[in-house]
Chain A
């Protein structure tokens, strides 16, 4: 079956611009989570969506937002980009809620560079 698809794979943006990243989870997976990965901080949780509702949110500023559509596809948006937003953004899907103890299936990520 198809894995988690993230688009685009690479992106270069200028400070102050905004960006939208897309994630298509594995078919049937209802939970989609987003993580930011940087060499300095490792993997940091951004937010989780389940059935179109944001269920959990990490400690990121309001410039980071997301949404999930009825087909479980998710987008995340970063407004007013800063140099420090340069990172690998990873989307992960799982079958049910985390209390079920399923592992994540990650996409390959979107490499965002802010110049």
Chain B
């Protein structure tokens, strides 16, 4: 069956360090993958989208990589700040179908001052 897996354990890092979050998937032929940020009680906020033929995408302090051989996406936040503390969700759209994104459960990031 199709699965999207994100680390359920919270990631704790110190301010200024690079946070790296992982999204693994199985049994998908991906078209594109997205990353969202969600704060408690709020809707997710779109951050980045990367297509299956792209290796890397950047936006300010954010970087996403997409390795379709490893079936994995890495999401990096450089020079992390306490304000980056949130839950980060990955969402995968499969090719050949509706392209409706399926979301992972998310990983909580806590940046300590």
> Which A residues form the contact surface with B (CB < 8 A)?
4, 33, 35, 42-43, 45, 48, 55-56, 88, 90, 92, 97-99, 101-109, 111
User: With contacts A42-B105, A43-B89, A101-B32 known, is A48 near B100, CB below 8 A?
Assistant: yes
Q: How many A-B residue pairs have CB under 8 A?
A: 59
- Which of chain B's residues 22-44 have a Cβ closer than 8 Å to chain A? 31-32, 34, 36, 41-44
Chain B residues with a Cβ closer than 8 Å to the other chain, count: 24
> Which B residues form the contact surface with A (CB < 8 A)?
31-32, 34, 36, 41-46, 49, 51, 89, 91, 93, 98-106
A42 and B31 alpha carbons, distance in the complex (Å): 22
> Does the CB pair A98–B100 fall under 8 Å?
yes
> Does the CB pair B105–A105 fall under 8 Å?
no
